[in-house]
Chain A
Amino acid sequence: MTYIAKPKFQHPGLPKNDLGYTRRDYEGKISTLCAGCGHDSITASIIEACFHLSIEPHRVAKISGIGCSSKTPDYFLGNSHGFNSVHGRMPSVLTGANLANRDLIYLGVSGDGDSASIGFGQFAHSIRRGVNMTYIVENNGVYGLTKGQFSATADRGSKSKKGVTNADSAIDLVAIALQLGATFVARSFSGDKTQLVPMIEAAIKHKGAAFIDVISPCIAFNNHAGSTKSFDYVREHNDAVNRLDVITGREPITVDYAPGTVQVVEQHDGTRLALRKLDADYDVHDRLAAMTFLQKHAAKGQVVTGLLYVDAESEDLHDRLNTVDAPLNTLAAKDLSPGSAALDKINASLR
């Protein structure tokens, strides 16, 4: 925890985005997490992604639960809407907000405790309903706030800081999300921003439930030998299936890729994802194969990262419910109460 505020001065040559903002304009308060926390890198990645996409901060709602990870929305997008909800209840609050105002960009920030334990059910239902959101789990495998007990995502056989071996099976949130029908599923690592930043951009641009599991080492309680969520372990066992570039607008893809190594996925709003394949056989549109691939590699102790599954034809909760296009707060009395003539007509149709 740092006592001084981050100085207001910024590099004089810092680039500006289409809105005239610099990256610094997307910051929040200074982090009160432990020094070196992986979560702070995820915060920085969210800032970078929103800067790149030229997002207007007041068009974002950042919603979280309880835990180290759920504190982080205070540290980015200081000019956005925020709701620090009850433990594990981020998905419900987010779903409700999304139904009320479908025009905002929803950023759900949660942790492994918040999403894999107390909020496991909430997580599951928001995914299966296809709520249009970016759901980020900052996954460190321990309960950091209560001094490092294993969380539900800690791998079986991994060791705690005190040397205790975890005997329970781990919940793989990526596998669950795939099974529950998430239309954008990815995993990354807080220590690899070149992979993480475009992934967050792509998730924000995705319509529907976009889930990113970010392994984020807990410096205080889970960065030792024997941990499977330490910097060293993840770096050694990281098996990235692809790298991602997000191309917004109509610009042609100018990056020079070797032929056959790039797959372009176009999303609803025209955003294109250029996937540089690292694993030639991996098909990002095959949900079943993705699940098998994950299981096989997990058995070998490998941490599969990258964009694991994307459905370019995704739909969201509003499509399924056939809701009105406008946010509810823009509907006037006239829209909500069309008058007795309309009521008579409806009643007549039901007789």
Chain B
Amino acid sequence: MKPTDIAAPDYFHKVVDCQWACPAHTPVPEYIRLIAEGRYSDAYMINWKSNVFPGILGRTCDRPCEPACRRGRVEENPVAICRLKRVAADFKDDVKHRMPRPVPKNGKRVALIGGGPASLAVARDLAPLGYHCTVFDQDPKAGGMMRTQIPKFRLPDSVVDEETDYILDLGVEFKGGHRIDSLKKLLAENYDAVFVGSGAPRGRELNIPGRKEAAANVHIGIEWLSSVSFGHIDKIGKRVIVLGGGNTAMDCCRTARRLGGEDVKVIVRSGFEEMKASPWEKDDAMHEDIPILNFMVPKAFVHENGKLTGVTFEKVRAEYDAKGKRSLVPSGEPDQTIACDDVLVAVGQENAFPWIERDIGIEFDKWNMPKVNETTFASTHPKVFFGGDAAFGPKNIIWAVAHGHDAALSIHKLLSGEDISERPLPEVHISSQKMGIHEWSYDNDISGASRFKVPHRDKAIALRDIKAEVELGYDLKLALGEAERCLNCDVQTVFNTPLCIECDACVDICPMDCISFTQNGDEDDLRGRLKAPSPHHDQALYVSTDLKTGRVMVKDEDVCLHCGLCAERCPTGAWDMQKYLIEMTHAGSTCPSKVRSAA
């Protein structure tokens, strides 16, 4: 293998699995260390800069970082990254004075359609640069789906208010209750750029027999959730069936339990394991006495005298073809009818752009989705950009934020007369962590603790009050314990070949057998000859240049604890522990862009 180019910013970024997996690339270990130090405000600001909504995401994020977390490969559970983010938000001091100050306007106007996370992220990046940002939303308050579709018992209004206000206070104009019905008309108002962050606002229908007749008691999940959010709906029947296996279904069933639903069931087509809902959201639902029945396909709504009485299901089982593709085939068991008073349909969301005229230069594909560049988020209209669920269909908040940053960068480049396809490299700060012979400026003593549980409100109380937040968040003691589980993957093992005398000290001390000194070879060959098995080929091998004996140093990054013992035992300082703080370059950074080289 060729020697690893550690100067390529992606190489060490990938080693920080959580940050690499995060769509917004939040420097996770950096803020977790700050939490451990008790510097909650600093931890909050790192998050705020990167993911814009730390308090909201600390409660609701889909947390792609956690399945990626190295700790999950070392022991049973990853670090509770998401809930530590909430700790930063919960325990910070007043941070208003740390927010960017409103600046004189630069005369350029940007319209943002939809007041959800994508648009707000764009506004957050552009407003401090002097752009006049106008956010339009059909609802009176900013926040979009974060405010209307996520139940208050998961995300209190106060948190949404606080974090949307930080953005609006940057001098962003918010036009609530203002629905955009024509993009053509909006473009005619001579905005310099338009960002479409209108989400995926339409709940998918379930057109099976009886749908029309039973319409009064069959509700579309996301619409029903927003009605609950606005207080238009405050009760539901005693027996409720929720159809669908995603996170919206979990929100629906738990909301139903709080509005009078006593016998609430979630019924899904697929198997329990393949459900789209996050495992922890399923756990929370089941904890509230909501059974999840699987392999049942809804066949018909049963009704009597115009009133819903139940749903009939066909029982199926999964069959896999030679390619591993699953199909659901009838199991041969008799159909089952389950009695109920109400049904909530949460079988997916769709985009809808009836308000975008098809003759204004925005091309749509065969699925009726706009053609959007995945890097620049530009549409085929030079002034119009898309992001969030509006760009590529339903995802989640953190993706919307990431899209927002990228779209803001494009808009800023466009309006500065630059080429939007040229993207800047991330900013990387490198610093050795060595303080003394065996002292490091980070805590390298690895905690053996298992993942700490987040305390929940007593179930009986939680179910009585739809606004009572269920998760209480970590207290400071639990937060410290959890923070110490982080392996500091951003403190990198950096190898300096000319200093190495091949004494094997690092090989002998490494608790995870990551390091081997061996003859070079191609990757598969090398992986087969390492000191410990190397099953995860997506985890990089760090290969040195040739050593004096003609061998190379090969480090499998896979399960490195970043404990620094290799550097402690190295007599010549060939190993050093260096912190690579990698931050994405957002709009307005002065960092010169270079051609990005692959790691």
Contact = CB atoms under 8 A, between A and B. Distances in A.
Interface of A: 1-14, 24, 30-31, 34-38, 40-41, 43-44, 190-191, 193, 217, 219, 223, 231-232, 235
Contacts of B498: none
8 contacts: A2-B569, A9-B75, A14-B533, A37-B503, A190-B504, A191-B504, A217-B503, A219-B503
Given A2-B565, A36-B572, A231-B502, 20 more contacts: A2-B438, A2-B568, A2-B569, A4-B565, A7-B446, A7-B448, A7-B561, A9-B511, A10-B511, A12-B559, A35-B505, A36-B503, A36-B569, A37-B503, A38-B503, A41-B503, A41-B504, A190-B504, A231-B503, A232-B501
Contacts, number: 98
Contact of B512 (A9, A34, A219, A232): A9
Contacts of B514: 11
Contacts of B446: 7, 9
Interface of B: 73-75, 438, 444-446, 448, 501-505, 507-509, 511-514, 532-533, 535, 548-549, 559, 561, 563, 565, 568-572
Contacts of B504: 40-41, 44, 190-191, 193
Contact of A36 (B74, B445, B549, B570): B570
Contacts of A191: 502-504
Contacts of A193: 504
Contacts of A36: 501, 503, 505, 569-572
Contacts of A31: 509, 569
Contacts of A4: 444-445, 563, 565
Contacts of B444: 4
Contacts of B509: 2, 6, 30-31, 40
Contact of A14 (B501, B513, B548, B572): B513
A347 B549 CA distance: 71
Contacts of B570: 35-36
Contacts of B507: 44
A224 to B, nearest CB: 11
A3 B505 CA distance: 16
A202 to B, nearest CB: 21
Contacts of A3: 438
B158 to A, nearest CB: 40
A35 B505 CA distance: 7
Nearest to A36: B571
Contacts of A24: 511
Nearest to A13: B533
A231 B501 contact: yes
A29 to B, nearest CB: 12
A35 B438 CA distance: 10
A153 to B, nearest CB: 20
A36 B563 CA distance: 17
Contacts of A190: 504
Contacts of B75: 9
A7 B563 contact: yes
Given A12-B559, A13-B532, A34 B73 contact: no
A13 B535 contact: yes
Would you list the 7 A-B pairs with minimal beta carbon distance, nearest first? A36-B571, A13-B533, A44-B508, A7-B446, A11-B532, A36-B503, A4-B445
B559 A1 contact: no
B569 A35 contact: yes
B571 A219 contact: yes
B293 to A, nearest CB: 35
A18 B397 CA distance: 51
A37 B504 CA distance: 9
B503 A43 contact: no
Contacts of A14: 513, 532-533
A260 to B, nearest CB: 26
Most buried by A among B501, B514, B565: B501
A30 B510 CA distance: 11
B559 A43 contact: no
Contacts of A5: 445
Nearest to B444: A4
